[in-house]
Amino acid sequence: MSCDLLLVNTHRQYGFESGAFRDWQGVYLLAAYLEENGYAVRVLSGFVHEVLPLLEAEIAAGAAAVGFSCDYENQDEVTQLSRHVRELRPLPVIVGGPQAVALGEDFLLRSGALAVVRGEGELPLLALMNYIADGSGRLEDIPGIVYLHEGRERRTPPPPPIANLDALPFADRSFSLLRPSAPSVLSVLTARGCPFRCSFCYEGGNTRSVRWRSVGNVMRELRQKLNADPRIRMVLFTDDAFTLNPRRVGEFCDALAAYRRERDFGWFAEAHPRTLLTHPELVSRMVEAGLVSLQIGVESGDSRTLRAYNKKTTPAMIEEAVDVCRQANLLHLVGNIIVGGAFETEESIARSREFGLRLLERGAGMAELHAIHFWPLPNTAMTLRPQDFGMEILDPQSRTAVTDYPVARCGELSPERLSGLRADMDEAFKMRVRELALQLPASAVLRVLGHWHRYRQYSGYVDALSRVDRYRRFSLLLEQGAVRRLDDIPPEEIGLWHPQRQCPPLTRDGRHFAGDLPVDAETYRVLVASAGRMTVDEAAAFCCMARSDFLRAARRLEDSLALAFCRY
């Protein structure tokens, strides 16, 4: 059956993408809104090689219009595919998404698109579909679009922002013609807009006043989707405004905690460091309500650069925010440092690197940082006036990069030099996380890996710890209930339980090891007897040891996650 509108969100596959990109909310929100207003909509969200045959099939089946979501990374794909659609059939093509605010006459001429929707999409897209459906009305009367008139660009004023977000239908992945690539993850938008005006950020340059969905409305969506799909383990609250209103955060925490007593899941949110310092109690409340991962804006360790970014933070404030999160027992805190941004020099980048390493030390076991390049996002202060920030944008359309290579020069720092500095910084951060991970006590290791098994919340710590066989095996079996720790077994039963090693006993050059762990001769003997085939008492007898001595050595192995106990 043909559809009235085929919405497409597609990118080339490079091999480093997160599978969750298919879960971007824009196309699913628009699909639900158009369906509610009487149009049959289908969604294609995936890599170009997956999408293309389905796109062509839908066009052949009689799709009436095609809409493409355009962002910083897929501008070229959208241009080419828009043209391809028009070559297959002279269908109206509509383009929206975050990058659409930068598209105009040149894009319309090259792509053959009917119109570009700038900003919030629901009202302009519905008006365009009404125009396409019956040919009535005029493009110049549709708010928030760019179109061609006699070969020249024309723009209409934006519509008023949608004030009552609760009136909109929930984003609906069931419209997708491709299966979701991250079935364990659900993305939810609880607000639109951002009050901050960071000079590098899309939200700061393009959004208006913050509008919030009510807590009740968001919780109804969560219950509907999580109850319908037991595969979902992690909820991503993807808006920048989640923590802005402390009272609203408190209401969310109460509601989320109550629901998690019925249905276990973890969640992610973003926060501004200033909010965490002003209301440090919020982090503890969020953690108690199931917060697994939190992202904060770090961006730089250089005070001048932070001021230029209009971040309203200082390096000291960011360090304090890390302390607040650590004291609240947060599992995972993540942030980015931009390399090649405002007023960058070799010295400022070195300061950022050292600052980042200090943050990792401060948040050992919790904090993780990534070094990224500056992206010239549309309408931001740094893109519009790079000279004011000591920069020159050499490749404004980013034809040479997919966020993996700098497109700007910073003073004497060429793109090549910036590329190397970013790579060195990112590798230093990864190496330090790996080192810190292997210094964690057993309880912290089990907490990190336990959350990975439960919620699939990945991190550099998960990666490092999973590479240690005994950590990986112990945590998995413990999470699945296959083994227990010594203190969780009734003392009167311990003789009947079976010690089960989590790594092989090894001897090299006369030295004994439990996998990668050096052990003494007595502990090695206990490890050899702990294949899970003998009970504690049988294994103690095999080792010619009293039960108490055997358990003392077994506990040393358990403390290193090299041994656990199973009942049968």
Task: Give the other-Cβ count within 10 Å of 417's Cβ.
Answer: 16
Task: Give yes or no for residue 361 having a pLDDT over 80.
Answer: yes
Please tell me what DSSP assigns to residue 130. Answer: H
Question: 0.75 exceeded by the pTM?
Answer: yes
Q: What is the pLDDT of residue 407?
A: 94
What angle do helix axes 75-88 and 48-60 make, rounded to 10 degrees?
20
C-beta separation of 126 from 65 below 8 A: no
Q: Which residue has the tokens 């269908």?
A: 91
Q: What is the pLDDT of residue 537?
A: 98
User: Which letter, b or e, does each residue of 364-377 get, where b requires 16 or more Cβ atoms within 10 Å of its Cβ?
Assistant: bbbbbbbbbbbbbb
Distances (CA, A) of 229 to 10, 18, 178, 261, 556: 25, 21, 17, 17, 42
Q: Give pLDDT tens digits for 154-164.
A: 999 999 999 99
C-beta separation of 9 from 168 below 8 A: no
Task: Give yes or no for residue 473 having a pLDDT over 60.
Answer: yes
In this prediction, residue 60 has a pLDDT band, given cuts at 50, 70 and 90, of very high
- DSSP characters over 313-329: --HHHHHHHHHHHHHTT
In this prediction, residue 390 has a pLDDT band, given cuts at 50, 70 and 90, of very high
Residues 6+ apart with CB under 8 A from 90: none
User: 335: which strand partners?
Assistant: 369
Q: Which two tokens stand for residue 247?
A: 């009272």
Q: Give pLDDT tens digits for 491-518.
A: 999 999 999 999 999 999 999 999 999 9
Strand, coil or helix: what is 333?
A: strand
User: 420: which strand partners?
Assistant: none
Domains of the chain: 5-155 (3.40.50.280), 183-464 (3.80.30.20), 468-566 (no CATH)
Burial tier of 278 (Cβ tally within 10 Å: 0-12, 13-18, 19+): exposed
Task: Give yes or no for residue 84 having a pLDDT over 60.
Answer: yes
Distance CA 191, CA 211 (A): 6
Q: Which residue has the tokens 């919790």?
A: 366
Strand, coil or helix: what is 231?
A: coil
Q: Give pLDDT tens digits for 435-449.
A: 999 999 999 999 999
The mean pLDDT value for 278-292 works out to: 97
Q: What is the pLDDT of residue 453?
A: 95
Distance CA 186, CA 266 (A): 11
- DSSP characters over 412-452: TB-HHHHHHHHHHHHHHHHHHHHHHHTTS-HHHHHHHHHHH
The mean pLDDT value for 138-152 works out to: 95
Distance CA 55, CA 279 (A): 49
Distance CA 525, CA 228 (A): 51
Strand, coil or helix: what is 473?
A: helix
In this prediction, residue 18 has a pLDDT band, given cuts at 50, 70 and 90, of low
Distances (CA, A) of 180 to 44, 392, 452: 10, 40, 20
* Segment holding 211, helix H or strand E: strand 211-212
Q: What is the pLDDT of residue 50?
A: 92
The pLDDT mean for the chain works out to 94
Secondary structure (H, E, C), 237-256: ECCCCCCCCHHHHHHHHHHH
Q: What is the pLDDT of residue 240?
A: 85
C-beta separation of 181 from 17 below 8 A: no
Task: Give yes or no for residue 292 having a pLDDT over 70.
Answer: yes
Residue 391 phi, psi dihedral angles, 5° rounding: -130, 160
Range of weakest confidence among 141-150, 222-231, 393-402, 548-557: 393-402
Please list the alpha-helical segments (H only) found in 328-397: 346-362, 381-384
Q: Which residue has the tokens 């095609």?
A: 66
Q: What is the pLDDT of residue 14?
A: 85
User: 531: which strand partners?
Assistant: 500
% of the chain residues with pLDDT over 90: 89
* Segment holding 268, helix H or strand E: strand 266-271
* Segment holding 149, helix H or strand E: strand 145-149
Q: What is the pLDDT of residue 103?
A: 93
Task: Give yes or no for residue 22 having a pLDDT over 70.
Answer: no
Burial tier of 402 (Cβ tally within 10 Å: 0-12, 13-18, 19+): middle
C-beta separation of 499 from 530 below 8 A: yes
Q: Which two tokens stand for residue 77?
A: 């794909």
